[in-house]
Amino acid sequence: MGRTAYKADFAERLRALKDRSGRSYHALGKRCGVSSSTLHRYCTGGGVPAEFLLVDRFGRACGASGEELAELRRLWMFALVRPEPEPAVVTPVRRSFGWRTPVGVAVVALLTYGLVTASRPVTPAVRQTGASSVPMWTDKPIGVGREFVGVTKNSTSREMPAFGVGAVRLWNSGTRWEKLEPERGRFEWFRLDRLVEPAREAGVPVLFTLGGTPAWASPDGPETVFGDGSRTSPPDDLDDWDRFVGELARVYRGRIDAYELWDAANHQRVYSGSVETMVAMTERAARVIKAADPAAEVVCPGMAELWEPQALRWQERFAELGGYQHCDVLGVKLHQRWSADPPERMLELATEIDRTLYRAGVPEMPRWNMGQGFATGVEERLDPELAADHAVRFYLVSLYAEYTRVYFYNWGSDRIPIVLQPSGGIPTRAARHVDELGSWLRGARNTSAATGPSSACPTTCGSAASRRTAPSSRSCGPTARPSRSRRPRVWRRSRSSTGNAGRSCQADRSRSRAALWCCG
């Protein structure tokens, strides 16, 4: 098929998406930042955008699926690139690196390999003459902070993780509201002190998760599954909520850095009240926290089990009622269905979450991944090698999905599929790999992306001093080509993922997915 035919197919796909969306050229142009006449020209075959970013925005505005966006990228590449009469040999060229650490390349390769192979695009033969003939797109660099690698502390012990973590979340740690205020107006902070003080000494920010209404505040409410007498229902009098949250923020001003206003608020086993009441509790809690500690971050009630349609509907209703307007951060439990599943499957859920927020008109805001779901309590433990592989990829997939902090669930327990470190025990292989990942990510920046054959890894690694071994790596091959295909974004500005340049790749093949790492 010639370039003209690809150009016609590309325009036809654009028109089909536009017609399906029911939006006018004017409305879509406003969303994409171009004129209606420009969009009309592309949709009728009068031209091809020079950058895929515009195509990506158009597709997202029309509600395109991940598969449809991948196909659009393939057609766009063929329609844009001038074909050569004979296949040319790819000549390696030296390029600048988009990430400042090797894990930067690993993130892109890990995710885009799965996305691209799923849609099976074919890269056209392009003659390399010192620079890629496929246009590149670039976004503002995004730094990866130390606090990105976090864990949920599932223990009442003062002990801190014996491997490198940058943030801790307190939940299932004996610090539910029921324990901290056993009687109205009588507060007992010693349990929370025992957990907060070691974290502060280690220089690790603390996220405190609220939940577990005391029996005295809701005597007729259903009991939680935690066995401590706490209730899933909201307090009968929301003034009790205001008083507790306000006192908590006052006592721990400057010591607790952020407050998650409920755990799994969209699930009956943790919260059985109405969406409307949770929105009211969110607004009230945010107000009293900011009054007591203006520097503290307010994380909206966490959303869990979002693979289930009813859970997504609950989140959407919360958003429609303005719940997210009162928070600094959006928190969800983003994970694959089962721990043994390839972590890359999280991207399917990430896209559904994005679509839900987009429909509800939620503005752009930071997102934190609160970890795995309820299934972790009933799943079998993974073998050490697979557990280490999945633990690292869990963080990397979250980073690719643009979550700025991840709280792996959990630290302290040995009755979960991926054990990091039991309380009183030593770090597992998975924990050691997470520790190494954290050291690699410090100072990393996500800067840009590229397409084309020269994005392959044709040369060897750099000097021995700069070479590192990727976790769970098994083989190395110069022919791997992690072509760039970004995950579809439907509610916030797309972030970029760097193209790979002149580095050898190591393939880590799990049960059903190959993860590509590039060293340097």
Segment 240-276, tens digit of pLDDT: 999 999 999 999 999 999 999 999 999 999 999 999 9
Name the residue with tokens 């980073």: 399
Q: Is residue 264 part of a domain?
A: yes
Q: What distance in Å separates the CA atoms of residue 352 and residue 123, rounded to the nearest whole number? A: 28
What confidence tier does 74 reach under pLDDT thresholds 50, 70, 90? Answer: confident
Q: Are 76 and 182 in a shared domain?
A: no
Q: Is residue 91 part of a domain?
A: no
Strand 514-518 to strand 505-509: parallel, antiparallel, or no bridges (unpaired)? Answer: antiparallel
Query: Measuring CA to CA, which residue among 206, 222, 215, 221 is closest to residue 176?
Result: 215
**Neighbouring-strand partners of residue 224:** none
| pLDDT tens digits, one per residue of 289-317 | 999 999 999 999 999 999 999 999 999 99
pLDDT at res. 1 = 59
pLDDT at res. 81 = 56
Q: Is residue 117 part of a domain?
A: no
Q: Do 304 and 335 form a contact (C-beta atoms < 8 A)?
A: no
Which of 423, 441, 459 delimits the end of a domain? 441
Strand 405-411 to strand 149-153: parallel, antiparallel, or no bridges (unpaired)? Answer: parallel
Which of 441, 457, 478 delimits the end of a domain? 441
Q: What distance in Å separates the CA atoms of residue 502 and residue 478, rounded to the nearest whole number? A: 9
Q: Do 113 and 510 form a contact (C-beta atoms < 8 A)?
A: no
Q: Are 72 and 181 in a shared domain?
A: no
Pairwise pLDDT comparison (511 vs 338), residue with the higher score: 338
Q: Is residue 39 part of a domain?
A: yes
Indicate whether 68 pLDDT > 50: yes
Q: Is residue 146 part of a domain?
A: no
3-state secondary structure of 243: helix
Indicate whether 514 pLDDT > 90: no
What confidence tier does 79 reach under pLDDT thresholds 50, 70, 90? Answer: confident
Pairwise pLDDT comparison (274 vs 124), residue with the higher score: 274
Indicate whether 18 pLDDT > 50: yes
Pairwise pLDDT comparison (434 vs 455), residue with the higher score: 434
pLDDT at res. 444 = 85
Q: What distance in Å separates the CA atoms of residue 394 and residue 40, rounded to the nearest whole number? A: 41
Q: Are 71 and 194 in a shared domain?
A: no
Residues above pLDDT 90, as percent of the chain: 63
Strand 475-477 to strand 505-509: parallel, antiparallel, or no bridges (unpaired)? Answer: antiparallel
**Which structural domain range is residue 58 located in?**
3-80
Q: Is residue 142 part of a domain?
A: no
pLDDT at res. 272 = 98
Counting the structural domains of the chain, the total is 2
Q: What distance in Å separates the CA atoms of residue 506 and residue 514, rounded to the nearest whole number? A: 10
Q: What distance in Å separates the CA atoms of residue 518 and residue 37, rounded to the nearest whole number? A: 43
Indicate whether 20 pLDDT > 60: yes
Pull the structure tokens for residue 437.
């990942």
What confidence tier does 109 reach under pLDDT thresholds 50, 70, 90? Answer: very low
Q: Are 44 and 185 in a shared domain?
A: no
Task: For residue 225, give the CATH number of its domain.
Answer: 3.20.20.80
Average pLDDT of every residue of the chain? 80
Tell me the H-state helices in 298-415: 309-320, 346-359, 384-400
Task: For residue 8, give the CATH number of its domain.
Answer: 1.10.260.40
Q: Are 48 and 191 in a shared domain?
A: no
Q: What distance in Å separates the CA atoms of residue 241 and residue 244, rounded to the nearest whole number? A: 5
Q: Are 252 and 352 in a shared domain?
A: yes
